[in-house]
Structure 1
Amino acid sequence: MKVHTIDLIDGDRLEEDVFNHYGLHVLSKGTVLNSREISKLLQHQIEYVDIEQRKHVMLESRTLESTATPKWLPSVKPIYDQTISTIENCFIQAAKDGTVDDEVVTAAIEPLFEHLQLERDVVSMLLLLNNADNYTYQHSVHVGMLTYYLANWLGYSQDEANTIGKAGFLHDIGKAKVDNDILNSPNKLTNDEFEEIKQHTIHGYQIIKKSLDDATLALGALQHHERVNGSGYPYGLTGEHIHPIAKIISVADIYSAMISTRVYQKERDLLFVLRELYRLSFDELDPTTTHTFIKHMIPNFIGKQVKLNNDELGIIIMTHPNEFFRPLVQVDNQFIDLTTEREYEIVHVYL
């Protein structure tokens, strides 16, 4: 039976050898698939594989309805909420004495990481878990989750991914030292207010260095607003002078901020957000990191309903490894390949 890679579950067994788009052998017939093997398929941009018939398991089609209320939500939501509560307490402690408790942070994020290994529809996960409250804390948790995923997609080991994920969770801890009226202002910031906001990167570096004595985590907080063309802050670093973990956090930070709804910002369409990241990858963001992120996020749109620029509604059937934003779309009984039928564009994704 042919299954999309996103719909694979632990224990599936390959019915045929798997080769990537360059003809290189990836996995052998008979391989039992678990999170490591599924991740490998995703890294090679393999969208469909043939697996042996499952016993006592019904394959659910990936439709808008099936992703709207996923089975993982009841088990993950309490862990997610607890993690937000812990991050909030970390901010309170950092504001009070300039420290965070490493053991508390680790105990909070490890259960969430364990569940992230099982769920690969990152697009739906973040939106379903999101709510309008506690933006700063939710943003920190979202960035931690995204950096964990992105580290895995980039080929880091599990231990390294856990560390990078922790760096994501703590990247904004320096905001604990910034005036709440400025952080939560619904108005455009003045130059002086923006200068104070910029200081959160330095505050974060100092808090993490003092508490954890971990230069890697501290640099993630310090440099996540640096840009490869030198336009970022606090020091205007360029290219290779920016730590790789900070480059990972930068991508996750922008994506999370752009999909969130705040008082002064309407929620953006998700493909628009990824297109914007793609645009930034040629100037401000590290291209390898950004393109890896997009390549692994795009397949999550398969099965989701979209609106085309002619107002027709369709379903994304397949994505392309090179033309990220021009998938194969089914409209009624018609299939439209946006890579060849260039007059069509997706204007909205429904989740």
Structure 2
Amino acid sequence: MRVHVLQLIVGDKLISDSYNAVGLHLLSSGTVLDAGDISMLNRHSVDYVDIAPRSSEIEKVVEEAPTRQANILQVTSFNNATQGIKEMFEALQDGGSLRNDVVESAFNPLIDSIQEEKDVVSLLLSLHSKDDYTLQHSVQVGMLSYYIAKWMNKSEKDAIVIGKAGYLHDIGKCRIHPDILNKPGKLTKEEFEEVQKHTIHGYDIIRKSLKDETLALVALQHHERMDGTGYPLRKSGTDIHSYSKIVAVADVYSAMISSRVYQQRRDLLHVLKELHRMSFGELDPKITQVFIRNMIPNFIGKKVSLSDGREGTIIMTNPTDFFRPLINIDNQFLDLSQLANVEITKIAI
């Protein structure tokens, strides 16, 4: 049967060879698809493939898929990267400067440990540190910026630079008083204006310490928006560096899925909906769509709670509405695209 790529599930079997738009052979007939295969088809923008009729056993495998946890190397690398950005903040607060070898020794091992990771959703849910939001956020944005760059078919060299830019994007917050950064209530106008200066501080720190104009520009521009509503310079469209646009998407996503003193973490699927809304004006639409398209297949097999109290497992995503998938509840199938009143309220690893 012919199905859209976003409706594939792990265990589906191809019955014809799969090619991308320029004729590159991707997968052979007879391939039993895993999560990596589905992700690759998405990266190559394949729309439809031919698969053998499904058996109930395949859907049962998805239903009973074991919970995934980040491996020890990934956890260690994440914690080391978090500790690294913490030490950089402290050094800068004491009048020191950034050193490229220190940045790379903290960040590059993390990229090495996650390069082959396909299930980005579970990875983000699994990796946490005990350090404060700003530190953990910096590491997440570095990871996500690297992934987005790879999904956009950037070279490995460019992807690492973009990941490093994401890792350092908030370095200017070392010059913002902690009482403002960690304030539990709403910031005053003056306090918000002070926080906005972290973009300028970051630009100055990176440009003077690392002599890298590209990394400095990302620190300066990651809060700029396509429609000119961002800060600090209200840049818009092509006036914003392409790397800054990538880091902006990663920054917004990470901020929304994180717990902060003034915000509870939001459900990952809900956040993708918000990113989709922001792609109509604020965020670069192409980058945002690449991100959403590559994140959505990771939700297949995840257990979910629904707004009506029921719980089930995502079996397929819906190619016409990414955010209303097919759910398996006690071997009964619920198509959320046909139920306007039922929403997903929580997704587990």
Alignment equivalent of 2:178, drawn from 170, 177, 180: 180
TM-score (norm 1): 0.85
Instruction: Quote the offset at 1:323 in angstroms.
Output: 1.9
| Aligned residues of 1:45 and 1:295 also touching (Cα < 8 A) | no
C-alpha RMSD of the superposition: 3.2
TM superposition shift of 1:29: 2.6
What is the match of residue 18 of structure 2?
A: 18
Give, in angstroms, the shift of residue 197 of structure 1. Answer: 0.6
> 1:182 and 1:341, CA in 2 relative to 1: closer, same or farther beyond 3 A?
closer
Q: Could you tell me how far 1:350 is from its partner in structure 2?
A: 2.6
Q: Judging changes above 3 Å, is the alpha-carbon distance between structure 1 residues 37 and 105 closer, same or farther for their aligned structure 2 residues? A: farther
Contact preservation (8 Å) 2:63, 2:301: yes
- 1:11 alignment partner in structure 2: none
Task: Provide the residue aligned with 1:144 in structure 2.
Answer: 142
Deviation, structure 1 residue 193: 1.0
1:249 to 2:250 alignment: no
Displacement of 1:331 = 1.7
Report the Cα distance in structure 2 between the residues aligned to 1:344 and 1:218, rounded to whole angstroms.
45
Alignment of 1:99-178 (within 5 A): 99-131=97-129, 133-178=131-176
* Partner AA of 1:17 in structure 2: D
1:42 and 2:42 are equivalent in the alignment: yes
Query: What is the rounded CA distance, in whole Å, between the counterparts of 2:217 and 2:199 in structure 1?
Result: 9
Q: How does 1:163-312 map to 2 (within 5 A)?
A: 163-312=161-310
TM-score (norm 2): 0.85
Name whichever of 338-347 and 157-166 sits farther off.
338-347
**C-alpha distance in 2, partners of 1:337/1:184?**
42
Cα distance in structure 2, aligned partners of 1:310 and 1:131 = 33
**Contact residue 201 and residue 234 of structure 1 kept, 8 A:** yes
Residues 41-120 of structure 1 mapped to structure 2, 5 A cutoff: 41-45=41-45, 61=61, 66-68=66-68, 70=69, 72-97=70-95, 99-120=97-118
Deviation of residue 234 (structure 1)? 0.2
1:39–1:153 CA contact under 8 A, matched in 2? no
Deviation at 1:61, TM superposition (A): 4.6
The 8 Å contact of residues 314 and 330 in structure 1, kept in 2 or not, is answered as: yes
SS at match of 1:237: coil
Q: Compute the displacement of 1:74 (Å).
A: 1.8
- The superposition leaves residues 250-285 of structure 1 with CA deviations (integer Å, 9 ceiling, x where unpaired) of 111111111111222112111111111111111211
Deviates more, 1:242-251 or 1:314-323: 314-323
> Which secondary structure does the structure 2 equivalent of 1:99 belong to?
coil
- Superposed CA offset, 1:225-248 (max 9, x none): 001111100001111111111111
Give aligned-pair identity as a percent.
50
SS of residue paired to 1:311: coil
Q: Secondary structure at the match of 1:247?
A: helix
Q: Which has the higher contact order (CA 8 A, sep 6+)?
A: 2
Question: What's the offset of the Cα at 1:320?
Answer: 3.1
Q: Could you give the per-residue CA deviations for residues 11-50 of structure 1, whole angstroms, max 9, x where no partner exists?
A: xxx9852146x79654153899999987642313569989
What is the rounded CA distance, in whole Å, between the counterparts of 2:228 and 2:74 in structure 1?
39
In the alignment, residue 200 of structure 1 is paired with which amino acid? H
* Unaligned stretches of 5+ residues in structure 2: 52-59
Supply the AA of the counterpart residue of 2:300. Answer: I
Give the stretch that moved more between structures: 184-193 or 332-341: 332-341
Q: Which amino acid aligns with 2:348?
A: Y
Runs of 5+ unmatched residues, structure 1:
9-13, 52-59
Counterpart secondary structure, 2:94: helix
Give the CA deviation at 1:308.
2.8
Cα distance in 2, alignment partners of residues 102 and 30 from structure 1: 47
Determine if contact 2:35/2:118 at 8 Å carries over to the other structure: no
Cα distance 1:244–1:200, how it changes in 2: closer, same or farther (>3 A)?
Answer: same
Distance (whole Å) between structure 2 residues aligned to residue 225 and residue 64 of structure 1 = 41
The alpha carbon displacement at 1:312 in A equals: 2.1
The number of aligned residues is 334
Cα separation, 1, equivalents of 2:8 and 2:158 = 24
Cα contact 1:6–1:121 (8 A) shared by 2: no
Shift of the 247–64 alpha-carbon distance from structure 1 to 2, 3 Å rule, reads farther
The answer to whether the 8 A contact 1:281-1:290 is kept is yes
Q: SS at 1:336's partner residue?
A: strand
